[in-house]
Amino acid sequence: MKKTLLTIATSATLLASSFSLSAAEKMTLQLKWVTQAQFAGYYAALENGFYKDEGIDLTIKPGGPDIAPAQVLAGGGADVIVDWLPSALATREKGLPLVNIAQVYEKSGMMLTCLKSSEIKTSDDFKGKTLGVWFFGNEYPFLSWMSKLNYPTTGGEDGVTVLKQGFNVDPIFQGQADCVSTMTYNEYGQIMDGGLTPEELVLFKYEDEGVATLEDGLYVLEEDLADDKKVESYAKFLKASLKGWKWAAENPKEAAMIVLEYDDTGAQTEHHQTRMMTEVAKLLGKGEGLGYLDPNAYQRTVDILLGSDSAPVITKEPVGAYSHVVFEKYKEL
């Protein structure tokens, strides 16, 4: 009799477990770039079961040079994407209604890293120099900065020559550029690993230059925010994600190891990912403000982009490009 009752109880437990698994809502997050500590909070939340706790069965899709997150979202291949605000605003102006629902990175990690041997001490010394720039939406802050400095980006003695930089730092080692685009948490470390020292470099942080724009926010399609059920799902996703980010910031080495577990390419190293996570933690929003898009920071990004004469950049004030409805719902959970 006891065996029969145990069997029934076990079957009931398995059935409940199976039902719980099938009841979990499937969601997909599309990253802006490859698997690395730049996105450690999401991987930490996945590995630690934070999404599962919220009833979400999450799939994380890595990005890459040939992947445009906005296009993946538009095509139904993702529910939420990670993107930079300048890129998202430009995409919105072109007709795809992206909306920022949360801002994870409070500060920009973008820098221009220059060789001292190129006789560059200040931005006044950019004239006639070759500067490496990332494109695919990453060029907008740079173009706005050059416009602010009144530098043509078509070369010449009074302007700068723009080198379309691959997503690496090779041009600074191959003598192709005087400066290259780097992130504080990634490519700058690659330059150090390549043999150059801080004493041989001059750094121009976009934050210090007054041209910093918001990076790594979470975006959805505007129409989906009209659906209360989807808003609640986004709020649960956000709750788990922010919990993951807080955990990753407090446990950088452990977070780096989780990232390595999810890196199918085998290209990442423990040393680099730990360093990256340590630097990324410096860019995150603090405390209860993590995930909140500050309207003033949003407007600063818009003003910087509108202040540029270069193209392609937004040409008019965006309307409805961000919403706090998901963040407010998350705070209620």
Task: Kindly list the averaged pLDDT for each block of 10 residues, start to end, along the chain of length 333.
Answer: 38 47 85 97 98 98 93 98 94 96 97 97 96 84 88 90 93 97 96 96 95 96 98 98 98 98 93 97 94 96 81 84 98 95
* Alpha-carbon Rg for the chain in angstroms: 22
**Residue with token string 């939420």:** 80
**Cβ(36)–Cβ(275) under 8 Å?**
no
Superfamily of domain 110-205: Periplasmic binding protein-like II (3.40.190.10)
* Phi, psi (deg, nearest 5) at residue 283: -100, -10
Query: Going by C-beta distance under 8 Å and a sequence separation of 6 or more, which residues neighbour residue 11?
Result: none
Instruction: Quote the pLDDT of residue 182.
Output: 97
pTM: 0.89
Phi-psi region of 114 (alpha: psi -120 to 50; beta: other; left: phi over 0): beta
Query: Residue 69: is the preceding peptide bond cis (ω within 30°)?
Result: no
Q: What pLDDT score was predicted for residue 310? A: 60
Report pLDDT for 311: 60
Hey, which bits of 116-248 come out as E strands? 130-133, 161-164, 179-183, 201-205, 217-221
Q: What is the pLDDT of residue 11?
A: 47
Is 3.40.50.2000 the CATH number for 25-107+214-332? no
Q: So where are the chain's domains?
A: 25-107+214-332, 110-205
Q: Decide if 25-107+214-332 and 110-205 have a common fold.
A: yes
Query: Packing angle between helix 295-306 and helix 140-148, nearest 10 degrees?
Result: 70
User: Which residues lie closer than 8 Å to 102 by C-beta, 6 or more apart?
Assistant: 217, 218, 238, 241, 242, 291, 292, 293, 326, 327, 330
